[in-house]
Amino acid sequence: YSPIPPKISPATNLPNQLFTWRHEQQIRYQVAGPEDGEPILLVHGLFVNSDHWRKTIARLADEGYRAYAIDLWGCGYSSKPPRDSEVAKAVCGEKGRFSVDYPKVLANAELGSACGTKSRLVDVELAHPLESPYNFYTWAEQITDFCDEVVKPKSGVTLVSNSIGTISAFQAIIDKPDLFNGVFVVSPNFRELHSAEIAVPQLSMPIVRWVQQLLRDKGQGLFDALAKPDTVKQILKEPYAVESAVDDVLVDVLLTPLLTEGASQVVFDTLSYSAGPLPEIQLGQITKPVWICYGKDDPWTPAGRVEALVRKPSVERVVAFDKVGHCPHDEAPELVEPLLLEYL
């Protein structure tokens, strides 16, 4: 369950490197820029990998930063052991995490709404319903361990995250605030399949759980049918407003690792993850500076809810880009990169 990556990434032309994480788990990463440059760690989003930062890592290196891009455990060319295996259980970041002071269900948590003008109080389930190790606490610990053991910063690491990777980045800062300088967010994700986000959960969640179970038990055929280059290209055009950015290289570097052993089960586990920390709650626990950017044509991220994040004390700026979707760093790097450099 530890796939062998190509020696050189077709997306970045950088060598693929391997970090041996806890319990001999393989983590693929890429790095560019001068060794003495200020360190930046790029954290990818849902079902993709470090190659998704193909444009950002090159620009940061050109500007003199030491830029790292990592494959989260279970993604890309990182290890993907079965969730019920002994090694996976040993790696799990939820182990020992919950207590009286940090319960598995956070009661009466305040969350936002799509319009951005209203809030609501809901109970938020934090523990993975399947007790799967593929969760945000595990990924946060991977990020902090990678920074401690590979990056070894002299004065902190700055995180740059996209989509659902933002929750892992936020949790890493909450866990080890002294290790990080802040987070630059490219399109946050509010977890539409989280039980706290589902309308009328008492009625809806049993149906959602049934569909999730069906996918885990019977979904391999559907996964195989969808895991074709032409189909993946069409799927990517939903979140990408700039369709010309969906080129053959992008499709290849995102699809190929998804065909490795264990990848589909991680996908099904993630689709069953209707729990975990949520960004609006996490931002209340972060004191480091956060900047957020997003595309106005993002079909997955309500603009009003993103704009409302500026009311969080740690969020200094929220910037919207016209005619851009969920992946501005790949769709419109000419807009994202100057803002990122200003943040840095």
pLDDT digits (tens, 9 = 90+) for 107-130: 999 999 999 889 999 999 999 999
Torsion of CA 215, 270, 28, 242, to 10 degrees: 90
For residue 158, name the pLDDT band (cuts at 50, 70, 90). very high
Residue 309, pLDDT > 90, answer yes
pLDDT digits (tens, 9 = 90+) for 44-71: 999 999 999 999 999 999 999 999 999 9
**Is 206 exposed, middle or buried, given 0-12, 13-18 or 19+ CB atoms closer than 10 A?**
exposed
Both tokens of residue 145? 């361990």
Both tokens of residue 100? 């009286």
For the entire predicted model, the pTM comes to 0.96
Residue 333 makes CB contacts below 8 A (sequence gap 6+) with 55, 56, 59
Mean pLDDT calculated for residue range 261-290: 96
Mean pLDDT calculated for residue range 301-323: 97
How many other C-beta atoms are found inside a 10 Å radius of the C-beta of residue 149?
11
**Of 302, 329, 3, whose CA–CA distance to 165 is shortest?**
329
**Would you call 245 helix, strand, or coil by DSSP?**
helix
Distance in Å from the first CA to the final CA of the chain: 37
Residue 268, pLDDT > 90, answer yes
The pLDDT value given to residue 200: 87
Q: Are strands 157-163 and 39-43 parallel, antiparallel or unpaired?
A: parallel
Mean pLDDT calculated for residue range 5-29: 97
Radius of gyration, alpha carbons of the chain: 19
The pLDDT value given to residue 100: 87
For residue 224, name the pLDDT band (cuts at 50, 70, 90). very high
What share of the chain in percent tops pLDDT 90? 96
Residue 101, pLDDT > 90, answer no
Mean pLDDT across the chain: 96
pLDDT digits (tens, 9 = 90+) for 284-294: 999 999 999 99
> E strands along the chain, which residues?
17-21, 25-32, 39-43, 66-70, 105-112, 119-125, 157-163, 180-188, 290-295, 315-321
What CA–CA distance (Å, rounded) separates 53 from 44?
7
Q: Supply the DSSP string of 82-145, one letter for each residue.
A: -TTSHHHHHH-TTTTT--SSS-SEEEEEEEE-TTSS-EEEEEEE-S-TT--S-SHHHHHHHHHH
For residue 201, name the pLDDT band (cuts at 50, 70, 90). confident
For residue 199, name the pLDDT band (cuts at 50, 70, 90). confident
Both tokens of residue 38? 């200020």
Mean pLDDT calculated for residue range 97-116: 92
Single-letter amino acid code for the residue at 307:
E
> At which residue do the structure tokens 């032409």 appear?
230
**Of 277, 275, 279, 135, whose CA–CA distance to 195 is shortest?**
275
The pLDDT value given to residue 56: 98
